[in-house]
Amino acid sequence: MNAHLQPTGSAYFLTQETQQTERHTLSVLVDNEPGILARVVGLFSARGYNIESLTVSETEHGRRLSRITVVVIATPKTLVQIKLQLERLVPVHRVHDLTAEGNYVERELALIKVKGTGDHRAETLRLAEAFRAHIIDATVESFVFEVTGKPDKIDSFIALMSPLGLVEVVRTGLAAIGRGAEGM
Amino acid sequence: MAEKMTGAEMVIQALADQGVEHIFGYPGGAALPIYDAMFQQDQVQHILVRHEQGATHMAEGYARSTGKPGVVLVTSGPGATNAVTGLTDALMDSIPLVCITAQVPTTLIGTDGFQECDTVGITRSCTKHNYLVKNVNDLPRVLHEAFHIATTGRPGPVVIDIPKDIQFAVGEYYKPEIETLRHASYRPQVDGDLKAIEAAVDLMLKAERPIFYTGGGVINAGPEASENLRELAELTGFPVTSTLMGLGAFPASDPQWMGMLGMHGTYEANMAMHDCDVMINIGARFDDRITGRIDAFSPNSRKIHVDIDPSSINKIIRVDVPIVGDCNRVLEEMIRIWRSKTNQPRTEAIAPWWKQVEKWRAVGSLNFKNSDTVIKPQWAIQRLYEATKKQSKEVYITTEVGQHQMWAAQHFHFDKPNHWMTSGGLGTMGYGLPAAVGVQVAHPDALVIDIAGEASVQMTMQELSTAVQYRLPIKIFILNNERMGMVRQWQDLLHGSRYAHSYSESLPDFVKLAEAYGGKGIRCENPAELDAAIAEMLDYDGPVLFDVIVEKDENCLPMIPSGKPHNEIILPDTANLGSIIDEKGRALV
Ligand SMILES: Cc1ncc(C[n+]2csc(CCOP(=O)(O)OP(=O)(O)O)c2C)c(N)n1
Ligand SMILES: [Mg+2]
């Protein structure tokens, strides 16, 4: 049974979901028109799908196309539904399940503010170098780092900064693209 | 060849170019420029409704009985919000509608202006697509694209929100070529994959216990699809059942017809669905009223599913042969391939199956105990059906929602598609009366009857006034049980017969009400007088409100209770409803 069908409270959904959930990255090519993001987000909330991360920006200005990268956690059966439901939206051109297709790269960018003086400051800088984090703002008692990488790399960097004076974090969400010469 | 005109004139011009003859609407401040443009032309006839919900259901009835899109025009704010129920209804039942909503001027949008509401926001999830037009030069493309999207692929409602200043603005009108509209992102697949269709026919050729399970998709695919379904059924010799939405696609008078399936479907249809070895789903969507308990749904069958909407396939029930495509195209291919492999129906191989089906049929699951003192609702429908058969006119039936709707589906029989209009997916009380008005507008010489309940009909009663204004002789056949019968039945079944707010008190005198509206009122409570009263209704040249006083506590059976599989259907002679559903089933809808 699809987890996303249960909240309807309808008569027959007695059986529990038996499939394991998986984390998948979908790449959605859409017309960049007003309301498109609301359509996509509305679809997820209306049908009870979970969004882990969502990134959107215009990518081809001439053709007014945007690319939405969305990370979802769902069962294989629901993942298929999510793709098909997205494709039903009139302004959606194509949906690729990059995780299912296998061959892709993904990156996220984070801006991380860390406060500290003395030993902490030196340790912070040493770790930042190991993670190839760039300093994009500095005061005598703080840094703002820019880190790019896979989400788990950013997670570890944040974890390491946490005892050293982590103030706040901003993340862009995931951007992903297929490998090789072919485009979407 | 572009022509200069105002946005309001573009609306009318585009409707005319789309061949629209009738639109259903209600004016208001923000819509006045369009109304003014309409006043100055006579290509498109406007039907003035009494409530915007009525306009949407009229457009649905119009669309479903003609195969053409229904068109609605409403003002901003409350006009748009009143249309939401009908839009949702059309989305659930895949009915092509184009709904034009007026909006406050673009400069006022976002300021909480008078009669402003976020129409595109509100209707985003209850339309197939919607638009807010902020530049008059986009209007020609948007208007034509809306018709294209509403009517192709899986049909549905499309909203175009047009601010008042855009209606006044002047721009270049042109009629775009279809190929230039949305070709990149919107391309419904109509031709089924040939390999899959071959695999389906192979399964059908080996079937020993086959069944066709057909739905509204066959009706949406046009009258040829119904013709092709009949041909394929004849070629194969397989039994045919249908959902509520698909009634009429296959003739009820055909011996291969099994009756409707689902929660209130026949015993034979539901048992055959449960026990079949090959299920051929054509244009139905495994709705929960059909499947019953999913993990017990047709456990031993191989399933073929034809649907134009890929997301319908494998959404609820896993199928073995998915075929995305238009029902008509796929049926044509199935016939061609079947013919290339054999010229015999599988009469002999499926003879034992038919024998079993006949045994189930012999149970007589639609039987009821008749009475000579009180009118039984099922009997009233049977008498109505018999009376209409003698009419030379085309007969169209609409319904409200409740027990009367299910009895109509069970006891009124349809031999043609597009003659049965009911709210299936959303189950909207108040649908039937306005839908009948819409059907009658499209078919002025036909006999159009709304089979109604006394509770439902009061939801959109005021559209009787529309019927009177436009001399639309609709007949409203109220099965008056002084109960929200379906709710009462569930309370008996699930809530210890505690009838919380499920009876109709302070009912109006429907006869006087009809007269007050300028129609005719008839009341009948004596079974012996029913036939004569029906004849009087049918003979009257004008709208009739017929109040049939029926048995108050009749249950609608058979019924598959919540949480039960198909083969645990309750048959008519089961006495005590209250003990049938267990604790778990009670929580279910
Ligand atoms: C707009 C709306 N509100 C509530 C319901 C829930 N509901 C389903 S059937 C029903 C009772 C209908 O009563 P009536 O029209 O008298 O029909 P009957 O079942 O008595 O034949 C109700 C309240 C609904 N389907 N639609
Ligand atoms: Mg009633």
* Interval between CA B317 and ligand 1 midpoint (Å): 29
CA-to-CA separations, B1 to B34, B177, B193, in angstroms, rounded: 23, 12, 40
Structure tokens that stand for A44 in this block: 């997820």
What confidence score (pLDDT) does residue B405 get?
Answer: 98
| pLDDT score of B345 | 87
Q: Which of B400, B457, B486, B506 to mutate to test the pocket of ligand 1 (most atoms within 8 A of CB)?
A: B486
Chain A interface, best mutation among B185, B286, B297, B562, by max A CB count within 10 A: B185
Contact at CB, A10 and B184, closer than 8 angstroms: no
Counting ligand 1 atoms within 8 A of each CB, the residue from B456, B506, B554 with the most, and so the one to mutate, is: B456
Q: What is the mean pLDDT of residues B112-140?
A: 98
Superfamily for the A105-177 domain = ACT-like. Chain A, domain 2 (3.30.70.1150)
In whole angstroms, give the CA distance from residue B427 to residue B287.
13
**Average pLDDT value for residue range B434-442:** 98
CA distance A61 to chain B (A): 16
A22-103 maps to which CATH number?
Answer: 3.30.70.260
Q: Do B295 and A14 touch (CB under 8 A)?
A: yes
Cβ pair A1:B294 closer than 8 A: yes
Whole-number percent of chain B with pLDDT over 90? 90
C-alpha of residue B483 to centroid of ligand 2, in Å: 4
Residues of B in contact with A40 (CB under 8 A): none
Ligand 1 atom at shortest distance from the alpha carbon of B453: 15
Q: Which residues contact B398 (CB under 8 A, 6 or more apart)?
A: B61, B421, B422, B431, B432, B433, B435, B436, B439, B448, B449, B450, B451
Q: Is A11 on the interface with B (CB under 8 A)?
A: yes
Average of pLDDT values for B525-540?
98
> In this structure, what token pair is assigned to residue B476?
């409203």
Q: Where in chain A is the domain with CATH 3.30.70.260?
A: 22-103
Token pair belonging to B298 = 């047709």
Q: What is the ipTM of this complex?
A: 0.91
Pocket of ligand 1 (CB under 6 A): B 400-404, 427-429, 453-456, 479, 481, 483-487
B503: enclosing H helix or E strand: none
Do B279 and B304 meet the contact criterion of CB atoms below 8 Å apart? yes
* Number of CB atoms found within 10 A of residue B525's CB: 15
- The pLDDT-based confidence of A12 (bands split at 50, 70, 90) is very low
Q: Where in chain A is the domain with CATH 3.30.70.1150?
A: 105-177
Task: Render pLDDT for A40-72 as a digit per residue (tens, 0 to 9).
Answer: 999 999 999 999 999 999 998 899 999 999 999
Q: Whose CA is nearest to atom 11 of ligand 1?
A: B484
Q: How far is CA B257 from the centre of its chain?
A: 20
CB contact under 8 A, A11 and B288: yes
What pLDDT does B30 receive? 98
| β pairing state of B544-549 and B520-524 | parallel
Place of tokens 């919107």: B186
Model pLDDT for residues B216-232, shown as the tens digit of each residue: 999 999 999 999 999 99
Out of B129, B292, B316, name the one closest to residue A90 (CB).
B129
A19: which DSSP letter? S
Question: Which CB contacts under 8 angstroms, 24+ apart, belong to B317-321?
Answer: B317/B286, B317/B291, B319/B281, B320/B203, B321/B196, B321/B199, B321/B200, B321/B203
pLDDT tens readout for residues B298-342: 999 999 999 999 999 999 999 999 999 999 999 999 999 999 999
Secondary structure of residue A177 in the 3-state scheme: strand
For the annotated catalytic residues of B, the residue numbers are: 52, 114-115, 164, 486
**Per-residue pLDDT at A4 exceeds 50:** no
pLDDT at B470: 98
Q: Do the strands B321-324 and B302-307 form a parallel or antiparallel pair, or are they unpaired?
A: parallel
Selecting from B293, B310, B311 the residue whose C-beta is nearest the C-beta of A12 gives: B293
Place B293 in a pLDDT band, splitting at 50, 70 and 90.
Answer: confident
**CB pair distance less than 8 Å for A14 and B184:** no
3-state percent breakdown (helix, strand, coil) of chain B, nearest 5: 45, 15, 40
